[in-house]
Structure 1
Amino acid sequence: MKIIKLNAIDSTNSFLKEMATNTSAENFTIVVAESQTNGRGQQDCVWLSEPFKNLTFSVYLSFRKFQIKHKKNLLFAVSLAVYEAIKEETELSISIKWPNDILSGNKKICGILIENSIQKDKIKHAVVGIGLNVNQTEFSKITSNVSSLKLLTRQNYDLDVLLKTIVSKLKIRIDQLACKEFEKLEEDYLKVLYKKNTPTMFKDRKGVLFMGLISGISKEGLLQIELEDETIKEFGIKEVSFV
């Protein structure tokens, strides 16, 4: 495991992707930024983080024969690793919001971005970006649905300790991925999925409100919601939101 620490960078994911393109990156190479000026979330959303107070890093994962049809299991593995690390270090009551945000109650404390490099029908490697709000206590009024470990527990946390715990959990879950323990990964993910089997109000991309409950994840990694007429409808990222 190789750890590269940077004082400031626009995006650890962009840095690591470029590094992997230009050099032979070692599996589990980690790039950590004390200050990230242009962090990215799902579908080009911006991840804002106060310098020196949070954990913003990316991990390079290489694969030998990981078929793209199983890519949702990589999402499960990464999300569970971060979830388990936070639970171990804080004992907070948390959940995973599909696809891979970590929530405490309805407050987001961690965002994850997975960018895959595809070769034919296989994922050659992935760059996993993780942004965890740790010791930051003030956030923009625009982002009222976010929180941090310190706000929730009133404790300061050692960023290096948190990083080591996350990477340790990630190695365990990636080993499960390599051993094709897909059913176990999905089972564990669904156990801690936010609003699973709970009647909830949703809004689709057209602004239409509807009641439903999250029932599972499709083979393609889409969110499955059971509607009031007991039919199952599937949604991709940004196609549905909680009200």
Structure 2
Amino acid sequence: MKIIKLDAIDSTNSFLRQLYAHNEVDDFTVVTTKNQTAGRGQMGAVWKTQEGKNLTASVFKSVSCLNHEDQFYVSMAVSLAIYTTLEKLLIPDLKIKWPNDILSGDKKICGILIENIFKGHALEASIIGVGLNVNQTDFEGLPQASSLKALTGVHYNLDEVLQELVSQLEDYSKYIEQQEFKMLKADYEEKLFRIEKPSTFKDKKGRLFMGFIKGVTDRGKLKLLLEDEITAEFDLKEVQLLY
């Protein structure tokens, strides 16, 4: 593992992508920063973090062993790696909120942004961006956010958390390399937030509806059981789970 530590950068994902564009990058090269000034989340959201208090990092992973249609397994593996890291730190009541937010109870403590790199139509690599709330305790205007310290009262060493996280990423990456997809998917679905529970969703037109989360497809779509025993599949742009 090679770690590049920066005092400040707009986005660790963008830095790592630019590095890859101009240089050969080793597997599990990590870029981390004390201050990310323009962090990005899912669907163009902005990820804000207090300087020096949280883990803001991006990891390079070669995934040329995967077919294009199997890319969501990277998201599953990363979610499970972070889940296991936090489990080892005794963070309570962990769940994965589809597609890859990590919750404690109903509070978000970690966001993941995976940007895949293609050569032609072939999947080449993934840049795995992780924003983990560690020692920050003030989340003004973000009622659904929390952190490890807010949950446990413990002040964490960011380097130690990063080392454990990368170790878990290495372990879960083996499932991808060996294409043990059924095991990954079963583990991921077991840990899904609101799995098999009646939940409220909002569609892209703002309409609310009820459904039961039944799991995900191999391509990462959310499978919902709706009224009249109808099963439907939704991608990230089509539905939002409210909580």
Q: Mark yes or no: TM-score above 0.5.
A: yes
Identity, % of aligned positions: 45
In 2, are the aligned partners of 1:65 and 1:122 still within 8 Å (CA)?
no
Q: Matched residue of 2:164: which SS?
A: helix
In 2, are the aligned partners of 1:53 and 1:135 still within 8 Å (CA)?
yes
Determine the C-alpha separation between the residues in 2 that align with 1:121 and 1:184.
Answer: 27
Could you say which residue in structure 2 is the equivalent of 1:189? 188
Q: Matched residue of 1:4: which SS?
A: strand
Q: Matched residue of 1:6: which SS?
A: strand
Q: Matched residue of 1:32: which SS?
A: strand
Could you say which residue in structure 1 is the equivalent of 2:111? 111
1:9-37 deviations in Å (ceiling 9; x for gaps)? 01000000000001001111000001111
Moved over 4 A (4+): none
Q: Matched residue of 1:229: which SS?
A: helix
The structure-2 alpha-carbon separation of the partners of 1:146 and 1:121, relative to structure 1 and needing over 3 Å to count, comes to same
Could you say which residue in structure 1 is the equivalent of 2:218? 219
1:178 shift after superposition: 0.1
1:121-169 deviations in Å (ceiling 9; x for gaps)? 431011000000000011131x211000111111111101100111011
Could you say which residue in structure 2 is the equivalent of 1:50? 50
1:220 shift after superposition: 2.3
Determine the C-alpha separation between the residues in 1 that align with 2:237 and 2:72.
Answer: 17
Determine the C-alpha separation between the residues in 1 that align with 2:62 and 2:163.
Answer: 19
1:89 shift after superposition: 1.2
Could you say which residue in structure 2 is the equivalent of 1:92? 92
1:102-131 deviations in Å (ceiling 9; x for gaps)? 011111100000000122443101100000
In 1, are the aligned partners of 2:224 and 2:231 still within 8 Å (CA)?
yes
Determine the C-alpha separation between the residues in 2 that align with 1:146 and 1:225.
Answer: 26
In 2, are the aligned partners of 1:107 and 1:147 still within 8 Å (CA)?
yes
Could you say which residue in structure 2 is the equivalent of 1:201? 200
Q: Which runs of 5+ in 2 are unaligned?
A: none
Alignment of 1:150-189 (within 5 A): 150-189=149-188
Q: Which amino acid aligns with 1:217?
A: V
Alignment of 1:139-154 (within 5 A): 139-141=139-141, 143-154=142-153
Residues 1:70 and 2:70 aligned together: yes
Aligned residues: 242
In 2, are the aligned partners of 1:30 and 1:60 still within 8 Å (CA)?
yes
The structure-2 alpha-carbon separation of the partners of 1:169 and 1:63, relative to structure 1 and needing over 3 Å to count, comes to same
Residues 1:122 and 2:122 aligned together: yes
Q: Which amino acid aligns with 2:8?
A: A
**Larger mean Cα displacement after TM superposition, 189-198 or 216-225:** 216-225
1:240 shift after superposition: 1.5
Q: Which amino acid aligns with 2:155?
A: N
